[in-house]
Amino acid sequence: MTVSHKIISLQIRFLYKFNPVKHLYLALLLSSPLFVMAQKNVDLDRYRLTVHYMSLPQQRLDSNYRTFHVEVEGTRLMQPLMEELSPEASVRLEGWRKMESGGHVSVQVKLGDLLPEGFSVKERVETKKNGNGIVTGTKTFYYQEVIYTFEAAATIADYKGMHIMDQDLSSRQYKRVYRSPEFQVKQLAEGYFLLNSPSITKELFRKEVMQAMHTLSENLTAQFGYREVAVNDNMWIIDSKKHPEYEAWRKAFSVMSDVLFNMDANTPIDGAREKLAPVINYFERVRTVYTSTKKHDRKIRYATYYNLAVLYYYLDDPQAMMREANGLVLNDYDTRDGKAFEQTAAWLKNLFQQNNIYTRHFPVNTTLFRGPYEKADISRIN
């Protein structure tokens, strides 16, 4: 007889000694395995995992469009600086082939002037103290602040002249600040920008243009591109060592972690579902064991619904994810997670339908893509 059974036996004999009729029901309840199970506490800890997949375009274009080119136009004032930068070279649209000209999609960028709008001299006072903390002297430093603005915008169209979208890359409503080095003579700070205007303007213009091109690249890829991404996410793992599911739960997580970790954005995941079948079956079986409305059982079921919802998301199965999300809501432990998963599942389903692609794991070979004026157009995902 185990220690726990001895304790239950002593409880039953104690209750029977004083009033066997009145406490008969309670004695039976105490001796029931269900009662012991319901009294167990369960601690859940977040388990971090990393998954790789291919992002899909947020905006739908003709599926044959997989080449692009970029043209950048500057003002007459900034033209000498433009020739040194070649900003079009830094623009990226991931998952597409970049061409010098004649792509399916053209990106026309217009860069404005870099304009100073205000000058001021600021000061910084530095104090010196002795060993007793008493101020023994001060030193004043001066520096110049220049308020300036910059603007840039892009227009995206296809090779047939059809307008696709406009994109603001930088606005004059956003005031930027240049700060000069510090000087101990105020007059040196006051004239710093004027004396060094060519070199300062060149550096500020370069910085703003490169930032605009980075913004353009990010927006183009988000809207139309195919990018390999690695994301961190969380699931729930049992952290109560005395809980009956502790070992089995961790074994399931070991299998799941290996499969998810080895999933690659460029490789189909056809075999992953089969490898994860024991894990899925385990979490579904756990729900049939812990069926009461007690907090412990609802918490266990919550973790199984949550984990499977996340798992199905990375298995590119929004329908199964929606089923688990609905279960989360009906389980009534933390309905907010369930409602959030319902929205995510609906978004993923719409994304697949919009692109007519139902997986986020496939190879992309941009060298195979041909522009509309080239000999062959084999711009398809292989």
Give the pLDDT confidence score for residue 84 in this predicted structure. 82
Residue 312 amino acid letter: Y
Residue 72 amino acid letter: V
Residue 205 amino acid letter: F
Where exactly are the structural domains of the chain?
Answer: 37-55+228-355, 67-224
The CA distances from residue 105 to 25, 97, 152, 274, in Å, are 78, 11, 19, 40
Q: Looking at the domain covering 67-224, what would its CATH class be?
A: alpha beta
Range list of H helices, the chain: 3-18, 24-31, 33-39, 79-85, 186-190, 192-195, 197-224, 246-261, 272-275, 277-289, 295-314, 318-331, 335-355
Say whether 68 sits in a helix, a strand or coil. Answer: strand
Neighbours of 292 (CB within 10 A): 12
Cβ distance 51 to 260 under 8 Å?
yes
Give the pLDDT confidence score for residue 133 in this predicted structure. 82
Give the pLDDT confidence score for residue 40 in this predicted structure. 58
Question: Among candidates 238, 195, 203, which has minimal Cα distance to 81?
Answer: 203
Largest CA distance in the chain: 103
Regions of the chain where pLDDT drops below 50: 1-39, 377-382
Residues 6+ apart with CB under 8 A from 295: 333
Start-to-end C-alpha separation, the chain = 64
Neighbours of 127 (CB within 10 A): 9
Question: Among candidates 365, 382, 361, which has minimal Cα distance to 52?
Answer: 361
Question: Among candidates 268, 231, 189, 306, which has minimal Cα distance to 50?
Answer: 231
HSE-up (13 A, CA, CB side) for residue 349: 12
Question: Among candidates 89, 157, 136, which has minimal Cα distance to 372?
Answer: 157
Question: Among candidates 222, 152, 260, 141, which has minimal Cα distance to 189?
Answer: 141
